[in-house]
Chains A and B, each alone.
Chain A
Amino acid sequence: DTAVSQTPKYLVTQMGNDKSIKCEQNLGHDTMYWYKQDSKKFLKIMFSYNNKELIINETVPNRFSPKSPDKAHLNLHINSLELGDSAVYFCASSPRGVTEAFFGQGTRLTVV
C-alpha cells in the first residue's frame, strides 16, 4: 500500500548509457514531481507535471525527459548518462493546488 513508489531503488550504469526510472502514486494526486538530491543533500526540483501536463521544467539538460502516461505515473528517462548525473532522484506527488508533497523512497543512480 505504498503511496509513492519508485523503481529501481539502486541503479549502477556506465557513462553513455540510457536509463529510466519509474514512479507511481496511488494517492489520487494530480501533480507529480521529480527532484534531484546531490551528494550534499541539496534537494532541487527538476520537473513538475499536473494531470499529465508539464508545468515546470527547471534548468535541466535535455538529456532528461519526463514522461507521464497517466496522472498516476511519471517516469524519468535519461539519455547519454554522465558522471555528474550520479545522485538520488526522488519522485513526489501532491493534491491539486496544494504543494504538500509526498515523496518516494528515492533511486540512487551511480554512473561509472
Chain B
Amino acid sequence: GENVEQHPSTLSVQEGDSAVIKCTYSDSASNYFPWYKQELGKGPQLIIDIRSNVGEKKDQRIAVTLNKTAKHFSLHITETQPEDSAVYFCAASQEGSQGNLIFGKGTKLSVKP
C-alpha cells in the first residue's frame, strides 16, 4: 500500500521568510496530492492540490511542485505571515478509484512576528 513520508516535523520561520515542506510517496499509481492546513481545534482544510499531469501549481503565496520520477512533492509558502502558523499535512491517493487519502505525519509550522 501507499506510504507517505513528510519532513520536517517542525519548522520555525521569521515572518516574511519562505517555508518549504517536503513529502515522498511510495506507490507510483498515486496521482492526486493534496495539502491540508489544520489550525488548532479545527479540522484539516484543503489549501492546494496537484494532479500527476502537472509539475507545478501556484495559488497566491502557496505553490506545490511534483516530481513523479522521484516520487516527491513539496509545498512552498512565500512571504509567511503569523496566520500561516498551523500543522500542514501532505497526502497521496489514486483519484477516481475507491482509494482514500494516505496522509503524512504533519509539519508544525510556526511563523514568528
Contact = CB atoms under 8 A, between A and B. Distances in A.
* Contact count band on A: 20 to 34
Interface residues of B, number: 26
Interface stretch (B12-20, B67-75, B76-84, B96-104): B96-104
A1 interface: no
B111 to A, nearest CB: 18
A43 B96 CA distance: 21
A80 B43 CA distance: 26
Contacts of A100: 32, 34, 46, 49, 95
Interface of A: 4, 33, 40-45, 48, 50, 55-56, 90, 92, 97-106
10 contacts: A41-B87, A42-B103, A42-B105, A42-B106, A45-B102, A100-B32, A100-B95, A101-B34, A101-B46, A105-B41
Interface of B: 32, 34, 36, 38, 41-46, 49, 87, 89, 93-103, 105-106
